[in-house]
Amino acid sequence: MLKTADIIVFVCYFIIVASYGIWIYRRKKKVKETSTDFFLAEGSLTWWAIGASLIASNISAEQFIGMSGGGFKLGLAIAAYEWLAAASLIIVAVFFMPIYLKNRIFTMPQFLKTRYNETVALVMAIFWLFLYVTVNLTSILYLGTLAINNLAGGDNFHTIMIALGFFALLITLGGMKVIGYTDVIQVLVLIIGGLVTSYIALLLVSENLGYGKNVLAGFNALLEKAPEHFKMIFDKPAGTAPKEQVSNYLDLPGISMLVAGMWIANLNYWGCNQYITQRALGADLPTARAGILFAAFLKLMMPLIVVLPGIAAYVLYKNGGLQAEMLTNGEFRSDNAYSAILGFLPTGLKGLSMAALTAAIVASLAGKANSISTIYTLDIYKKYVKKDAADNKLVLIGRLTVVISLILAIIVNWKDSLGIGSEGGFVFIQKYTGYISPAIFAVFLLGFFWKRTTAKAAIAGIIGGVILMVLFDKFLPGWFPETPLYTAFMNAQGVYEIPFLISMGWVFFFTVLLMVIISLLDKKGSKEINALEVDTSMFRVSPGILAAIIVILGILLALYIRFW
């Protein structure tokens, strides 16, 4: 339960963020607010604000709760999502961002319209809106509410959910500039609070195992007591493998994921995602690149904040601790790992860590709601509902969209209609986002780098990719459990399942193949191709950017060598 000091710390955080947001909003109100300023904060975000906003929007309940739960269940292997994100951000900074900025792209549907046509843009805009509202926004809100509710005593789930939605609403209504600069405070709070939580977690392990209050001893104890939790690559299970090993491999299928779905998930998320790229689309190229690489540096340290507490909770649980804390309504849930650790923080620090968790949740909710608002307002309302809408009308529609999307997320989560609690938060988001990730990434990648790709091929890729993903996930495992392409394993429910990261890899491959064939056969479409402005000089980087890339890749290589 929270003490008075914890509540004071948390309230101070709320007042500081709200006051800073109001100050930024009033400053920008001195000039006439345009729709571009509201949705993109064009030209007003510095590199450090872009980098901080990328991380604050990305690190949410999905990581704090879902990835800590993954750390409890899977160990450090779940950190592949974070560490390979750093490498993916390098690719986005060097190759994707110059194309967006050179062609004055502000939204992802706009890119599809510019490169293909209106039909492709509309289809994808609808896909994204559905995905962002029904999967991303709702899961962030549900997982965040679950964690804070557990920390606060477990009796105020719906009240906390409404409060989180309202707090996010206040920030989002100020527009992208307010989101970007308040994210600087949010990311500072979540990093400090997250590091404090990891520090306390290691102290708890050290004390519980009889080593006294010694952080280094606590970390060494994790290595000693749970060596399997520090293995980055899982071996493919044999026919007699225990269910736990099979379950782990289904989530993270060893080396296969490094050459298949993991790259698709990361590059699609960081490079083809309105929610993320929006932070950099209003800047010039040097500023955007510096901000993205700053985010890559921060991603390298994220497992220390979001995975380590989960591993610590696992060791404590296996040694008799956290028995009650890992239960929700009498049922064990690995996603309770982070809040279980938070429960042992000293008075005051518990408030700081809850503020860090709230910062992550609210920043992500605000960013996601703003992206939903941007896509609906600029790519649907302005194009198909009221083409001559004035700027102030667009801003109003954008704000109404934010309100409606957050209300919908609360309604869906009221009784956990999507079953997020039973799926496991992080896996739920990755799996259902993965239904359209291969198709989207194929359409973007060929659109970037193969001028011959036609609009018909893009439509076929979007629809065909989703159908293929459903086929690989729901039907092929039962029809053909063992093929040269994949091996299906029996999951905990007794149903054959292909590791979804492997499915994503094959779906991407076949989607690209489908698009190439259709493009080559589409003689009429080849005469109507809208080529982007691309030349090799766009991909050159400055010495400073090159040095940062080398450092990031060096750290990443060292981590994989150490924990392979």
Give residue-wise pLDDT tens across range 125-169: 888 888 888 888 888 888 778 777 876 766 788 888 888 888 777
Contacts of 311 (CB under 8 A, 6+ apart): 71, 72, 75, 76, 222, 226, 229, 230
Give a yes or no: residue 496 inside a domain.
Answer: yes
Q: What is the mean pLDDT of residues 375-381?
A: 85
DSSP, res 487: B
Give a yes or no: residue 406 inside a domain.
Answer: yes
Local structure of 351: helix, strand or coil: helix
Per DSSP (E only), the strands in 329-472 are 331-332
CA pair distance 517, 170, nearest whole angstrom: 48
Helices 4-28, 176-208: crossing angle, 10 deg rounding: 160
pLDDT band at 171 (very low <50, low <70, confident <90, very high): low
Q: 477 phi and psi, to 5 degrees?
A: -60, -40
Please check whether residues 365 and 299 belong to one and the same domain.
yes
Q: What is the mean pLDDT of residues 452-469?
A: 92
Selection from 271, 282, 274 nearest residue 50 by Cα:
282
Exposed, middle or buried: residue 387 (CB in 10 Å: 0-12, 13-18, 19+)?
Answer: exposed
Please check whether residues 358 and 472 belong to one and the same domain.
no
What separation in angstroms does the CA of 41 have from each of 18, 97, 286, 492?
Answer: 19, 17, 17, 47
Q: What is the mean pLDDT of the chain?
A: 83
Specify the DSSP element, H or E, that contains 321.
none
Q: What is the pLDDT of residue 421?
A: 62
Give a yes or no: residue 413 inside a domain.
Answer: yes
Q: Which residue has the tokens 């809208």?
A: 530
Q: What is the mean pLDDT of residues 97-107?
A: 84
Please check whether residues 14 and 146 belong to one and the same domain.
yes
Please check whether residues 161 and 306 belong to one and the same domain.
yes
Point out the least confidently predicted range of 252-261, 389-398, 414-423. Answer: 414-423
Please check whether residues 189 and 58 belong to one and the same domain.
yes
Please check whether residues 413 and 447 belong to one and the same domain.
no
Question: Residue 44 sits in a domain of what CATH number?
Answer: 1.20.1730.10
Point out the least confidently predicted range of 232-246, 320-334, 472-486, 516-530. Answer: 320-334
The per-residue pLDDT for range 121-136, each reduced to its tens digit, is 888 888 888 888 888 8
Q: What is the mean pLDDT of residues 350-354?
A: 75
Please check whether residues 188 and 41 belong to one and the same domain.
yes
Q: Which residue has the tokens 């809040």?
A: 339
CB 526 within 8 A of CB 452: yes
Q: What is the pLDDT of residue 154?
A: 67
Q: 478 phi and psi, to 5 degrees?
A: -75, -35
Selection from 476, 453, 451 nearest residue 533 by Cα:
451
Q: What is the mean pLDDT of residues 404-420?
A: 82
Q: Taking 60 as the threshold, does the pLDDT of residue 423 lie above it?
A: no
Q: What is the mean pLDDT of residues 19-37?
A: 59
pLDDT band at 239 (very low <50, low <70, confident <90, very high): confident
Please check whether residues 505 and 383 belong to one and the same domain.
no
Give a yes or no: residue 262 inside a domain.
Answer: no
- Helices of type H across 209-240: 215-225
Q: Say which residue, 503 or 49, is predicted with more confidence.
A: 503
Q: What is the pLDDT of residue 22?
A: 67
> How many domains does the chain fold into?
2
Selection from 385, 230, 233 nearest residue 312 by Cα:
230
Q: Taking 50 as the threshold, does the pLDDT of residue 448 lie above it?
A: yes
Give a yes or no: residue 246 inside a domain.
Answer: no
Give a yes or no: residue 109 inside a domain.
Answer: yes
Point out the least confidently predicted range of 26-40, 153-167, 185-199. Answer: 26-40
Which residues constitute the domain of residue 117?
4-21+32-205+284-421+536-563
Cα 194 to chain centroid, rounded = 17
Per cent of the chain over pLDDT 90 is: 24
Q: Say which residue, 443 or 11, is predicted with more confidence.
A: 443
The full DSSP string for 232-286 is SSPPPP-TT--HHHHHHHHHS-HHHHHHTHHHHHHHHHHHS-HHHHTTTTTS-HH
pLDDT band at 265 (very low <50, low <70, confident <90, very high): confident
Please check whether residues 451 and 413 belong to one and the same domain.
no
Please check whether residues 464 and 352 belong to one and the same domain.
no
Selection from 341, 416, 370 nearest residue 182 by Cα:
370
CB 265 within 8 A of CB 436: no
pLDDT band at 41 (very low <50, low <70, confident <90, very high): very low
CB 258 within 8 A of CB 88: no
Local structure of 411: helix, strand or coil: helix
Q: What is the mean pLDDT of residues 506-523?
A: 94
Please check whether residues 80 and 175 belong to one and the same domain.
yes
Give a yes or no: residue 243 inside a domain.
Answer: no
Other Cβ atoms closer than 10 A to 524: 8
Q: What is the mean pLDDT of residues 278-289?
A: 80
Q: Say which residue, 317 or 144, is predicted with more confidence.
A: 317
Q: Taking 60 as the threshold, does the pLDDT of residue 493 lie above it?
A: yes
SS (H, E, C) 7-51: HHHHHHHHHHHHHHHHHHHHHHCCCCCCHHHHHHCCCCCCHHHHH
CA pair distance 298, 261, nearest whole angstrom: 23
Please check whether residues 443 and 552 belong to one and the same domain.
no
Give a yes or no: residue 96 inside a domain.
Answer: yes
Most confident option among 384-393, 423-432, 483-492 = 483-492
pLDDT band at 424 (very low <50, low <70, confident <90, very high): low
Specify the DSSP element, H or E, that contains 562.
helix 543-563
